[in-house]
Amino acid sequence: MDFTLSEEQMMFAQTARTLLTDRCGPDHWRAMMHQGTAFDAARWAAIVDTGLAALIVPEHAGGMGLTELDFALIAIEAGYAALPEPLAESAGIAVPMLASLAPDHPLLADPATIVAMAPAINPVVASADVAQAILVERDGHALLVPREHAILTPVPTIDPLRRVFHLEWRKAYDLGVADWALARDRGALFAAAQGLGLAQRCVDLAVAYAKDRTQFGKPIGSYQAVKHHLASAQVAIEFARPVVLAAAADCPARDIYAAARVSEAKLVALAAADTAARAAIQVHGAMGYSWEVDVHLFLKRALALTHAWGTPHFHRSRVAARVFKRPTGPDTTFAREGHDA
């Protein structure tokens, strides 16, 4: 039993934090909103160069073959930076799926390839406009729709750094039966991880503002009413983080316990994101209700991720399946199907 991260994992996460906050900060968000774009090719190239996009792509397809836990740590940082590029969905879910279905597919030759995901659980397809192809769930099969055969209808969304589409296609390639359950688990897990990161960013932004902003002759952060909003948000984060990490570590087990843990992570991390985003807006006061400060980006991303890859109702049902059909109690924290704890 060991619930600590390795030196290497912490180093990867730190590398991602530095890269993503350097290249995806307030100036970048504002420039992109001004230009009306949600993709920065130079930033994506830098992410690919650092190897972050290859983490859980299998080694036989040119990746590093690491685990969901390793990637979840990167997804946390993507959330912290409100990263517009589809690092989690493409590099965390779609490219690994393509690699398992068609290891020699020409798209895999380029590590910068972006593949979008169209699982049945999501009514819209995110980032399809910047993808070279889209993987579509159809009767358990995966259909590969190359970008040039896709007909994308943009669907307006409140998140200015996220693009979603309705998808039709002229031509698709059937890649056979695919592991959509794995895709859903990874989708929920990496959405949870991003939720955790953006929750922490909300608190950090609000703390910085509360130290700086003065009312009644004192920084507003010295007042208990303000402190307690942010402390409550931090509590939610502290107790979401171990659930996200455990869900990531459980993911490969693929049993009812792992599915429930992933769903728990989705529930608690996005609830923390909602709590933190609303606390941050409240602490920023009228500024928080404006485009003058950046917290609205995090509120909007939290809203999108809360319902992407399974609604809270969907994930509660998966936890209910575990709670009501398997033993619960203190000796079942690390239970696995077919084993005692």
Residues in touch with another protein (CB under 8 A): 1-6, 69, 203, 207, 210-211, 218-219, 221-222, 224, 226-228, 230-232, 234-235, 238-243, 245-246, 249-250, 261, 264, 267-268, 316, 319-320, 323-324, 328-334, 336, 340-341
CB of 158 to another protein, least distance (A): 26
* Residue number, 78 or 245, with CB nearest to another protein: 245
Q: Are 252 and 68 within 8 A, CB to CB?
A: yes
Contacts of 64 (CB under 8 A, 6+ apart): 51, 54, 55, 56, 57
Radius of gyration of the chain (CA): 20
326-335 long-range Cβ contacts below 8 angstroms, 24+ apart: 326/256, 326/257, 334/1, 335/257
* Residue number, 99 or 305, with CB nearest to another protein: 305
Contacts of 340 (CB under 8 A, 6+ apart): 331
* Residue number, 278 or 316, with CB nearest to another protein: 316
Could you give phi then psi for residue 296, rounded to 5 degrees?
A: -60, -30
CB of 71 to another protein, least distance (A): 13
* Residue number, 1 or 42, with CB nearest to another protein: 1
Q: Are 184 and 309 within 8 A, CB to CB?
A: yes
CB of 292 to another protein, least distance (A): 22
CB of 269 to another protein, least distance (A): 10
Crossing angle for the helix pair 68-80 and 224-250, to the nearest 10 degrees = 150
From 106, 280, 119, 284, select the one nearest 191 (Cα to Cα).
119
Q: How far apart are CA 130 and CA 5, in angstroms?
A: 33
CB of 320 to another protein, least distance (A): 6
* Residue number, 97 or 260, with CB nearest to another protein: 260
Q: How far apart are CA 120 and CA 133, in angstroms?
A: 17
Q: How far apart are CA 183 and CA 120, in angstroms?
A: 11
* Residue number, 78 or 207, with CB nearest to another protein: 207
CB of 24 to another protein, least distance (A): 23
CB of 185 to another protein, least distance (A): 16
* Residue number, 87 or 233, with CB nearest to another protein: 233
CB of 149 to another protein, least distance (A): 42
For 318, the token pair is: 């998966």
* Residue number, 172 or 205, with CB nearest to another protein: 205
